[in-house]
Chains A and B, each alone.
Chain A
Amino acid sequence: MILYEKILSIYPSLTNADFSPFGGTILLQNDSDGRGDYIAKWEHPTLDKPTDEQLGAA
């Protein structure tokens, strides 16, 4: 399961708009350096950034 899918499993109410670079509050990024997908920005007004434990359990 990729990071995006894990986040959606934790917060199923999120939509593409939340991840949009145009006004979205969440930015997932991958710099193609072997470290994989990561949360570059989490500024959602009501949902807390998932913890590593939550993501690991997803």
Chain B
Amino acid sequence: MPLVLNGATSGSTTIQATDAVTQTITLPNNSGTVLTTASTFGGTGPAFSAYPNATLSISTNTSTKILFQTEEFDTNNNFASSTFTPTVAGYYQLSTLVGTTTVITSEAIIWIAKNGSVYKYLADPYASSIAMLGGSCLVYANGTTDYFEVYMTQYSGSTKTISSSNQVVWFQGAMVRSA
């Protein structure tokens, strides 16, 4: 026989045990909100992975948005125009890697932009031969207006080409904690 809890003013909640199976649920000694399979929390929240469908030119000394036109997955349809705009408020782990077809011979910087401004710098290698750079950071998104993009600058003195390979150029993210 199910247990029915009636709402204070309307509605009801039904707790239904599975027939022919005896289960034990032990409630912890603390107060909180019960989550269900329909709840959104770390592990069930939005996740995406994307990569380019073409090479991209990046002028020297110019902060350039990196494009990721092809989606490997986008569980909540929150990724479009190379921009991640999660519609569920919470904390997200974002990761990216960007590689060029020819090495950068001085300095390069890559960062996550939030709402059009620098949010977290991920890497700033200064070397004679830079082929790939990337990193990861944790961000908070309000689930409405916050959006995230990847930008990069290189100071080689000439225009470089961002690779189109999905193995060396990608942008990924997943919710790790609800708001």
Contacts and interface: CB of A to CB of B under 8 A. Distances in A.
A4 interface: yes
B118 interface: yes
A9 interface: no
Contact of A29 (B63, B67, B107, B155): B63
Interface residues of B, number: 21
- The A interface, classified by DSSP as helix, strand, loop or mixed, is mixed
B70 interface: no
Contacts, number: 47
Given A2-B159, A16-B107, A21-B153, A32 B62 contact: no
A58 interface: no
Interface residues of A, number: 15
B62 A30 contact: yes
A2 B153 CA distance: 15
A33 to B, nearest CB: 8
A28 interface: yes
B59 A30 contact: yes
A27 interface: yes
Residue among A21, A27, A40 with max Cβ neighbours from chain B (10 Å): A21
A5 B56 CA distance: 19
A1 B118 CA distance: 27
A47 B99 CA distance: 34
B64 interface: yes
Nearest to B111: A21
Interface in B74-121: 82, 106-107, 109, 111, 118, 121
